[in-house]
Amino acid sequence: MRIGIVNDSAIAVECLRRILEASNEHEVSWVARSGYEALQCCTEDRPDLILMDIVMPGINGIEATSQIMERCPCPILIVTTSVDSRSGMVLEALRAGAIDVVKTPSFDLDAGGVDAQRLLRKIDNIEKLIGEDDQKRPTMPHSSPPRSPDTHMVTSRGIVVIGSSTGGPQALAEILSFFPKSLSWPLIVVQHDEARHIPPLVSWLDSCTKLQVKTVKEGDKPSGGTVYIACTDHHLIMNRDGSLSYTKGPKGSIYRPSIDIFFESVARNWSSRGIGVLLTGMGRDGAKGLLALKEAGWHTIAQDRETSVIYGMPKAAAESNAAVEVLPLSKIGASILRRIQTRGKAL
Catalytic choice (258, 285, 299, 304): 285
Output the pLDDT for position 133. Answer: 59
Catalytic residue list contains 84: no
From-to residues of CATH 3.40.50.180 in the chain:
149-340
Catalytic residue list contains 233: no
- List Cβ neighbours of 207 (8 Å cut-off, separation of 6 or more): none
Question: What pTM did the predictor assign?
Answer: 0.82
Query: Looking at the domain 2-134, which fold is it?
Result: Rossmann fold (3.40.50)
From-to residues of CATH 3.40.50.2300 in the chain:
2-134
**% of the chain residues with pLDDT over 70:** 89
Contact at 8 Å (CB) between 229 and 215? Answer: yes
Residues in the chain: 347
Backbone φ and ψ for 295, nearest 5 degrees, come out as -70, -20
Residue 244: other Cβ atoms inside 10 A: 21
Q: Tell me the pLDDT band of 107, cut-offs 50, 70 and 90.
A: low
CATH match for 149-340 among 2.170.120.12, 3.60.15.10, 3.40.50.180, 1.10.1660.10: 3.40.50.180
Question: Is the pLDDT assigned to residue 347 strictly greater than 50?
Answer: no
Question: Is the pLDDT assigned to residue 154 strictly greater than 50?
Answer: no
Average pLDDT, stretch 127-143? 55
Q: Tell me the pLDDT band of 28, cut-offs 50, 70 and 90.
A: very high
List pLDDT tens digits, range 220-274: 999 999 999 999 989 999 999 999 999 998 776 778 899 999 999 999 999 888 9
More confident residue, 28 or 82: 28
Catalytic choice (29, 66, 165, 265): 165
Question: Is the pLDDT assigned to residue 284 strictly greater than 50?
Answer: yes
Catalytic residue list contains 335: no
Question: Is the pLDDT assigned to residue 140 strictly greater than 50?
Answer: no
Catalytic choice (34, 100, 192, 258): 192
- The DSSP code for 98 is -
